[in-house]
A and B are shown apart, each in its own frame.
Chain A
């Protein structure tokens, strides 16, 4: 049980390698249509499974994404994530309520948005970028860290709030409540469930490490980027009980069970804040 994650890490070391922006091994695994050893990355295919042309540069510390929008394609990005765009690229602000939400969907989105505003979390507006004549948009997250591309072919991936950067194609997103226990933690109160077919780019504070879990695995709440596969998880305190939570300094952890992949980030937003807090204002 312990052996599996270690192996997995070795096999995907180059996931975070700089200078190989598009050809992440995961993407190639997931797009079996690409012949083994083919030079052209999968996204250049003209098949229905092809990803939208894009490039991730300046990783792993300060990654930035460029998406080359063909006419008619739309990229949906987290509000405030745009760095630059060609003048011909249009930007429309929309509420992040998922596809065809209907009245109750919108209502739910507003309620959730208000809760997220209170518990902390990102904005509930997203920007839709489209280019009738084609054009590029450059997108980057706020924190220092990596950007990963994930070709979605009908799977579901669950992301921590804040890990979503942008998406393209027939990708649907819905908010998932992490349970009442999770409300005590700044992270983990809500998750974003992403499914469908298309491109997903997600981000991290620090580097992203993918851990293949077969059995159980424990991840600190603040270091969780997302997970996929047949995994369930429980949020609990690291040491067990309230005392263990306070004394260990580890706060809440997610204990995963099953088979799948967990993405973690090498830095933690809450730790940065608690390190800075006593230093502010002297």
Chain B
């Protein structure tokens, strides 16, 4: 499998080349186009797994795309304008902010985890995904805006709304951004993730929830 990223950075499109009988698992709704020899199979992986995913902010179903009778091409995109990154699987795996997940190799196991109970009010960080695999594999993630890789040496604090993914070697706690709860509220920063340990963190340069609130609060209520 080979993934090329086109139209970066503002409107990234992933071009996935599948070898004969090779598969990729993608978030429902991510498919843009494909050659006719690629077959799509929809699966929830069981009711409980599907429900858990729904709570995690993803869709109930996930689609598996497989190339039959030769090579296949598949195009994938994210819902929001922005960049994408291909993460090569490591021994420890990754944590992903749930809406950042676009696709992964079938060898990669994606589990929904509770990401910190206090993240409940932030709109991000209640559930996170953990990507692990025994062997090599890839995960395709998408961000809102640009994606920037930061090196953490036990010393980074990140707004939960700007997180895309991070190495599972890092430990984190979700907490208030300032010294006290009132200061945190007034600061407008919402909740932040305090990272400990060493590893890489990928952030997105725009915050989807903040953007949604900024625009959405000035629109009439749905109804």
Q: Do A and B truly interact?
A: yes
Min Cβ gap A149→B in Å is 16
Contact yes or no, A64 B148, CB < 8 A: yes
Contact yes or no, A143 B219, CB < 8 A: no
Min Cβ gap A268→B in Å is 13
Min Cβ gap A251→B in Å is 16
Residues 258-282 of A, flagged 1 when their CB comes within 8 A of B and 0 if not, give 0000000000000011001100110
Cross-chain pair count, CB within 8 angstroms: 118
Residues 161-198 of B, flagged 1 when their CB comes within 8 A of A and 0 if not, give 01000000000000001110001001111100010000
Q: Which of A174-224 contact B (CB under 8 A)?
A: none
Q: Which of A86-136 contact B (CB under 8 A)?
A: 86-89, 91-93, 120, 123, 125, 127, 135
B193 nearest in chain A by CB position: A84
Does chain B have a CB within 8 A of A83? yes
Does chain B have a CB within 8 A of A85? yes
* Other-chain contact of A281, B9, B157, B190, B222 (Cβ < 8 Å): B222
List B contacts of A143 (CB < 8 A): 211, 214
B155 nearest in chain A by CB position: A87
B212 nearest in chain A by CB position: A142
Contact yes or no, A63 B187, CB < 8 A: no
Contact yes or no, A87 B186, CB < 8 A: no
A60 nearest in chain B by CB position: B10
A83 nearest in chain B by CB position: B162
Stretch touching chain A among B31-39, B124-132, B201-209: B201-209
Contact yes or no, A93 B211, CB < 8 A: no
Min Cβ gap B205→A in Å is 4
Does chain A have a CB within 8 A of B45? no
* Other-chain contact of B162, A84, A88, A276, A280 (Cβ < 8 Å): A84
Docked Cα-Cα span, A58 to B162, in Å, equals 14
B211 nearest in chain A by CB position: A142
A277 nearest in chain B by CB position: B219
Min Cβ gap B163→A in Å is 9
Contact yes or no, B218 A86, CB < 8 A: no
Known: A61-B9, A79-B187, A144-B145. A281 touches B159 (CB 8 A): no
Contact yes or no, A144 B158, CB < 8 A: no
Does chain B have a CB within 8 A of A62? yes
List A contacts of B177 (CB < 8 A): 82, 91
Docked Cα-Cα span, A273 to B189, in Å, equals 24
Residues 48-67 of A, flagged 1 when their CB comes within 8 A of B and 0 if not, give 00000000011001111000
Min Cβ gap B120→A in Å is 19
Docked Cα-Cα span, A14 to B54, in Å, equals 45
A63 nearest in chain B by CB position: B205
Task: Known A-B contacts: A91-B187, A125-B186. Give 8 more (CB < 8 A).
Answer: A57-B205, A61-B145, A62-B9, A84-B158, A86-B157, A88-B155, A93-B178, A93-B183
B residues touching A (Cβ–Cβ < 8 Å)? Answer: 9-10, 81-82, 144-146, 148, 150, 154-159, 162, 177-179, 183, 186-190, 194, 203, 205-207, 210-211, 214-215, 218-223
A residues touching B (Cβ–Cβ < 8 Å)? Answer: 57-58, 61-64, 79-89, 91-93, 120, 123, 125, 127, 135, 138, 140, 142-144, 272-273, 276-277, 280-281
> Which 9 pairs, one residue from A and one from B, show the smallest C-beta to C-beta distance?
A58-B146, A80-B188, A62-B145, A79-B188, A64-B205, A61-B10, A84-B158, A87-B155, A281-B222
Return 9 A-B CB contacts under 8 Å, by A number. Answer: A57-B146, A61-B145, A62-B9, A80-B187, A80-B189, A92-B179, A93-B178, A123-B188, A142-B211
